[in-house]
Amino acid sequence: MLKEKLADLNYKLSHHETYQALNSAKSVKTFMEYHIYAVWDFMTLLKSLQQRLTCVDIPWVESKQDAEVVRFINEIVIGEESDLDPEGNAISHYSLYIKAMKEVGADTSQVERFIETQDLSLIPEGAREFVDYNLRIARDGTDEEVASAFLYGREKLIPEMFTAIKDVMSTEQVDCPTLIYYLERHIELDGDEHGPLAEKCLQALCGDDQQKWQKAASVAEESLKLRSSLWDAVLVAINQEQEKAA
């Protein structure tokens, strides 16, 4: 039922004009300068799920959640917080993305200042509303609301978006091995593993409780709308850069 309800929003988002605007290395740089904030707050949602669904307390007490849900959360934390880079060194996906940004010449100074200060006003408008919403859900939402934001605002959208960016950078023949590795890693993980498992996680949390499904649906809808607003902001920034260049 939830899939059908969100089908229109998912379709519009997957056909957003930003996808067509990502047609050059310059536009990809601009995109990354906005998208990095979503990469960062993705970890906040994930850590919220880890706190809620696994045990991170002392003394340890076994989670009341299904062991498959616990395993999924712990697996994705390992992958996102301490994956391996192309040389086999442990690195978080956030740091890998920052490295990829520097590799292609994207500006990382603003997001680095934000990380140091946690001052939301430093985030560009469009990305700021997206981050603020997810932070509030991570802190104050119910388990199913956090899982819904994690699934519908993130995991289900990543493979299509990253495939498009990979194609652009390949066509432009830009030497960016870190970025290509990051994109390929997420296309693999999010499409084949994390997406389906995140869906199972939400199903396990909601079960047959219609009230929980309604909360999940409301968050999913808002997450998709805010993601669309983020893409709107990226599109405006790309168009402005093109006008300057002209």
Query: Token digits for 208?
Result: 């047959």
CA 205 to chain centre: 21
CA atoms within 13 A on the CB side of 242: 13
Domain 1-244, second-level architecture: Up-down Bundle (1.20)
Is 201's pLDDT higher than 80? yes
Contact 13, 224 (CB under 8 A): yes
- 11 versus 154: the higher-pLDDT residue is 11
Q: Output the pLDDT for position 245.
A: 79
Q: Output the pLDDT for position 2.
A: 72
- 163 versus 114: the higher-pLDDT residue is 114
> How much is the mean pLDDT over the chain?
89
CA distance 44 to 139: 9
CA atoms within 13 A on the CB side of 202: 26
CA distance 197 to 72: 7
| Residue (of 133, 109, 108) closest to 120 by Cα position | 133
Query: Token digits for 92?
Result: 């978080």
Predicted TM-score (pTM) of the model is 0.91
Per residue in 24-34, pLDDT tens?
999 999 999 99
The H or E element spanning position 91 is strand 90-91
| Residue (of 209, 227, 224, 232) closest to 6 by Cα position | 224
**3 state SS of 45:** helix
Is 192's pLDDT higher than 70? no
Is 190's pLDDT higher than 80? no
Per residue in 64-100, pLDDT tens?
998 988 998 998 899 889 999 989 999 999 999 999 9
Among 68-77, 97-106, 127-136, 194-203, which stretch is predicted with the lowest mean pLDDT?
A: 194-203
Give residue 239's identity as a one-letter amino acid code: N
